[in-house]
Amino acid sequence: MVALPFLGRLSFLLLIATTTTTAFAIGIHHGSIIRKPSSGVSNFREAPEFRNGDVCGTNASERIHIAMTLDINYLRGTMAAVLSVLMHSTCPENTEFHFLWGKYEPEVLVSINSTFPYLNFRLYHFDSNRVRGKISRSIRQALDQPLNYARIYLADMLPPDVKRVLYLDSDLVVVDDIVKLWEVDLEGKVLAAPEYCHANFTKYFTDLFWSDKELSSTFNGRKPCYFNTGVMVVDVDKWRQGGYTPKVEEWMALQKQKRIYTLGSLPPFLLVLAGNIKAVHHRWNQHGLGGDNLEGKCRSLHPGPISLLHWSGKGKPWLRLDSRKPCAVDHLWAPYDLYGSPDHSLEE
């Protein structure tokens, strides 16, 4: 499969976002699309089964493992993210999803099964008691939800046969073949993610942290850069062997005693791993499309090629579209929206 150039792909997305034609009817790949009658048991339309590659193996070694959280408040975003991965994958049948849920919500499982009847996935219960006493209040309530911390415990929850996992947030869509990110050479690192060394790293921690020489010395010998934990490739075995979960928890415990940061689960990741990850191309996390964490003001795309669009920040595209006050970038998410009628999100 030949990837579409960014401008061509962006034009394609804008075209289908401003018409009443669904993304399925046009398609980006030339593979066959298989449909089954919709069961009508949820508010989500049934997604087609994509067959995009001419030769796709079924060996376990070729399987791509993707972990995501499942929450009814973000389910609409999760559905769009899953659809985008399958639509743009050369071999979507090789993808296995690992969903982490905190509270059993039967309607969520019904929606997943009816919307993606062909999906390979496993469910894992994340016990919120593991973090309830460790979470400190941050600048936005949504960041303080226990499920937001589940990514710290991936290595504990996933079965031994999963050696590598790609963690994805629920407020993103993939517009490229995910295998390109999956196959990144970690070069011995435990984690790979886009790295942003131009960002002001000091702002992720309080003055108390930087004024304490013992605390700030944790970055000695490293050149720490910001990375977003919403898109990460993780070597699960190396994470277990290195005891990274308790390392992150130690900083969370210290945060309860001293306020050394104001965000949620991101800063302890930075404290443990910033400056010691495998950096991948920025195209794999065009983040910040949801604006800042307080007001969620509209932002435009950054220059350069794009393989993944990420609405991190307060503003979520489905909420802004429903309010009929969308940002321009939200129309790039709309073609992947499976909620309601086929033209539900294209009525603007």
Which CATH number characterizes residue 212's domain? 3.90.550.10
Please give the pLDDT value at position 340.
80
- Give a yes or no: residue 187 inside a domain: yes
- Give a yes or no: residue 232 inside a domain: yes
Q: Which of 52, 31, 75 is nearest to 179 (CA)?
A: 52
Provide the domain count of the chain.
Answer: 1
- Give a yes or no: residue 28 inside a domain: no
Output the pTM of the full model. Answer: 0.85
- Give a yes or no: residue 120 inside a domain: yes
- Give a yes or no: residue 31 inside a domain: no
pLDDT tens track of the chain, all 348 residues?
Answer: 334 434 444 443 443 343 322 333 223 333 333 333 333 346 899 999 998 888 887 676 789 999 999 999 999 999 999 999 999 999 999 999 999 999 888 899 999 999 999 999 999 999 988 888 787 676 556 666 888 899 999 999 999 999 999 999 999 999 999 999 999 999 999 999 999 999 899 999 999 999 999 999 999 999 999 999 999 999 999 999 999 999 999 999 999 888 999 878 899 999 999 999 999 999 999 999 999 878 889 999 988 999 999 999 999 999 999 999 999 999 999 999 999 866 544 343
- Give a yes or no: residue 14 inside a domain: no
- Give a yes or no: residue 124 inside a domain: yes
Range of the domain at 132: 60-336
- Give a yes or no: residue 117 inside a domain: yes
